[in-house]
A and B are shown apart, each in its own frame.
Chain A
Amino acid sequence: MRSFLPLNFGADTVSRIAKGKIWDTSTGDKATRVLEVYRYDPESGRGPRLDVYHIDRKSCGPMVLDALVKIKNEIDPTLTFRRSCREGVCGSCSMSIDGRNWLACTQPIDDIRGTIRVFPLNHFLVMKDLVVDQSHVIAQHRLIQPWLKSETPGPERERLQSPEDRAKLDGFYECILCFSCTGGCPSYWWNGERYLGPAVLLQAYRWLVDSRDEAKGERLDTLEDPFRLYRCHTIMNCTKTCPKGLEPAKAIARIKAMLVERQH
């Protein structure tokens, strides 16, 4: 099943997606894969469109990022997207692929049946093609002060932490800030201006459970808000769409539990 809704359901005029160009490079070969890719050029004066590309799977690498690179190299050099490490650690190439958010570099082409539909991260403002404007989420990330806060003067060498306390960071410190989860969160779609979203809240939790941090109360104060935190309704899209296998919904549940704990 694709989606509950038609492509342009409820879209405002600037966001409506038109039919795009069909780059007819199909050879009719069985190994041909079809990609529908979201295109938007801010300088064209026109709205977004959906272009159709045909690529030869045999001469293409295994991942969706390989397909996008192939399109850029061989078919249409104007196609714009972010990518860097091409091995799932930098978080640059997160996008909506086949109805969920994932890193294009770790999404095998062959795991997708039929046409491969590629869009920018859901509900983000689009700068160009698959490149989205992240300034709001980055500002939200800054809001939770993602660094160690300590008033006690640091020791000569490293700040000590027991192996048990260190283990509490597992499953949370690995976040690469690709914002796949935030893009996939319906609560973020409706209230992203005020709701911090799963990625930022997971980061907030990562600092809340760090035994070396001295600013827990202050951190909780920042989150004690019906919109910043409590828009989370445990829809679980975040956990399902995390390309690193992390569980933002669990981090958020634990933040809520901490807030309850300090009241009772």
Chain B
Amino acid sequence: MAGTTSSSRPRPTAPHLQVYRPTLTMTMSIAHRLTGIAVYIGTIVFVWWLIAIAAGRDAYESFLDALGSIPGLIVLFGLTWAVLHHALGGIRHLIWDTGRAHTYPWREYLARANLIGSLALTAILWAVCYPR
């Protein structure tokens, strides 16, 4: 650290993310954060839905038109997955917070269950809702 070196050239920082072999739990951690941020922004869609209904028939129709378009459906599908992935990831966090399932292979099972569970739930939800 500073104050202990006499050399004038600053010391290099050893590479980190650039050389670290991605681990499943690290990837799921990044996914938890990205989906958290996605849902944070996605609350706009949720509140827009409520406001559109509150604003009346026409507003609601245009809301449905916007979300029924191809980009709208993609956003909605992505948000569905993001919410479910983040929620399941949250449960994984809560389990780890109690000190459980830190040991191999349980931590890997939890991370895998997180991904598989969110994809499955998203598929089920859309299979039920989309045809309507």
A residues adjacent to B (C-beta < 8 A): 1-12, 14-15, 17, 38, 40, 42, 45, 47-48, 96, 98-100, 117, 119-127, 132-133, 135-136, 139, 183-184, 186, 189, 233-237, 239-240, 247, 249-250, 253-254, 256-257
Contact = CB atoms under 8 A, between A and B. Distances in A.
Given A3-B19, A96-B14, A257-B98, 9 more contacts: A2-B21, A5-B17, A14-B12, A14-B13, A15-B15, A96-B19, A100-B20, A234-B97, A236-B29
Contacts of B99: 250, 253-254, 257
Contacts of B97: 234, 253, 256-257
A247 B99 CA distance: 10
A186 B98 CA distance: 22
B96 to A, nearest CB: 5
Given A38-B14, A235-B29, A3 B7 contact: no
A7 B15 contact: yes
B102 interface: yes
Which 7 pairs, one residue from A and one from B, show the smallest C-beta to C-beta distance?
A99-B21, A236-B25, A122-B16, A15-B12, A120-B14, A125-B11, A123-B16
29 contacts: A1-B21, A2-B19, A2-B21, A3-B20, A14-B13, A15-B13, A38-B14, A42-B11, A99-B20, A119-B14, A119-B15, A122-B14, A124-B13, A124-B14, A125-B13, A183-B14, A184-B20, A233-B29, A234-B29, A234-B96, A235-B26, A236-B23, A236-B25, A236-B26, A236-B29, A237-B23, A237-B26, A240-B25, A253-B96
Contacts of B96: 234, 236, 249, 253
Contacts of B13: 11-12, 14-15, 123-126
A247 B102 CA distance: 7
A9 B11 contact: no
Contact of B12 (A4, A5, A126, A254): A126
A17 B15 contact: yes
A101 to B, nearest CB: 9
A87 to B, nearest CB: 23
A126 B11 contact: yes
Contacts, number: 141
A7 B1 contact: no
Contacts of A47: 12
B132 interface: no
A234 B107 CA distance: 11
Contacts of A239: 102, 107
B10 interface: yes
B4 interface: yes
B27 to A, nearest CB: 9
